[in-house]
Amino acid sequence: MRYYIIAGEASGDLHGSNLMKALFKKDKKASIRFWGGDLMQSVGGELVVHYKERQFMGFAEVIFNLRKITGHIKFCKKDIDSYQPDVIIFIDNSGFNLRIAKWAKTKNFKTHYYISPQVWASRASRVEKIKRDVDAMYCILPFEKEFYKKYNYEINFVGHPLIDAIANRSQIEEIKFRKSHKLSAKPIIALLPGSRKQEITKMLGVMLSVVNDFTEYQFVIAGAPSQDFEFYKNFIKQDNVNFISNKTYDLLSISHAALVTSGTATLETALYKVPQVVCYKANAISYQIAKRIITLKYISLVNLIMDREVVTELIQGDLNKKRLKKELTSILESKKREQLFIDYYELEKKLGGRGASETAAQLIYDAIIN
């Protein structure tokens, strides 16, 4: 079978790579062409466009880059038409993917969506377009199935692929890891400022502002695979800061606490049972637009899944040195830490068991051959 997969950022690349492994295992004759990243490329298939080339965060950034985005959409349609896949698999990245899905249905391509667009966060009216343009949806968050049910759209809850991604990783030797990355014996506070340049620019400076207030700890920046150290070093002014690129899971596995930009990383941090403070600051214009569209009580996946405040969220103006110092101090204290560990275990249960990628691959394969 011929599969065309479209993922648009680091998390999509991760989930796409695991889905591809499952598809290759299930379908020995699978041919896969994809938009993604290094992880998907390492599995096999043929990379069309790397997600680094189309990373835009926020409403304002999208507007400023409309010509480039339009060019990618036009090229994607032409490439799909040329490849003639048996199925197109969209992974998150709704702004781009829903446009392609609408066009694809007019061309009678089979359209499957793995990892639902966050229509439950804003513009729920888009559900009707999804029902029209997407043949099958595979969601990874437990509350999404009930959400779509309200709109008479039956979807498949397959569990969260991060469970597998983390469980399948080999454990590192902490002493060796610290030595190879020139880390001291001090407890580690991990800084996860995101993967896009726009969000790193907004987040990292504030995160680093508290470093000198916690000298008994060492701070380690988790560098995104899409960015070079040259970009990060402009923000590092303190001595007690280290940088490790493309080793986020290894870093989290030995971290004592973390400051995390809102997104998939909040869930990854929780699954590694690391106490965290969630941070979010956007372009002022983008934030004002988002405030009028997004209807959620929380921005972090941890709190959304639990439907209550488990981790503290510092958003926009609240993300400042004073508040960050206070909240970081709180998660370093035993009482708060103990409660977080309890909540994290409950969170993991809600996400279901292992096998999300295999389940999704099986359902996609069955839908094509039947």
**Cβ 101 vs Cβ 333: under 8 Å:** no
Quick check: 44 pLDDT over 70? yes
* pTM across the whole model: 0.80
Residues paired with 7 in a beta bridge: 91
pLDDT at 9: 84
Give the whole-angstrom CA distance, residue 199 versus residue 321: 17
Q: Assess whether 182 and 48 both reside in one domain.
A: no
pLDDT at 55: 59
Tokens of 331: 């998660």
153 and 216 inside one domain: no
Q: Which residues contact 48 (CB under 8 A, 6 or more apart)?
A: 33, 34, 35, 76, 79
Task: Please determine, for residue 49, whether its predicted confidence score (pLDDT) is greater than 80.
Answer: yes
155 and 184: one domain? Answer: no
Predicted pLDDT at 309: 96
Closest CA to 188 of 97, 270, 250: 250
Q: Which residue has the tokens 């103990």?
A: 338
Domain membership of residue 164 (yes or no) is: no
Determine the average pLDDT of the residues in 140-157: 92
pLDDT, tens digit (0-9, with 9 covering 90-100), for 2-42? 999 999 888 899 899 999 999 999 999 999 999 999 999 99
Distance CA 330, CA 326 (A): 6
Domain extent, residue 208, equals 169-350
pLDDT of the residue at 295: 59
* DSSP-H helix ranges across the chain: 10-26, 38-43, 59-64, 66-83, 94-106, 126-133, 142-149, 161-167, 174-180, 197-208, 229-232, 248-253, 264-271, 284-293, 301-306, 321-332, 334-350, 356-369
Query: Residue 310 is part of a domain; what is its CATH number?
Result: 3.40.50.2000
Number of domains in the chain: 2
| CA–CA gap between residue 89 and residue 341 (Å, rounded) | 36
Question: Domain for residue 143, yes or no?
Answer: yes
The whole-number average pLDDT for the span 70-92 is 95
pLDDT, tens only, 291-348 = 544 557 898 999 999 999 999 999 988 999 999 999 999 999 988 999 999 999 999 9
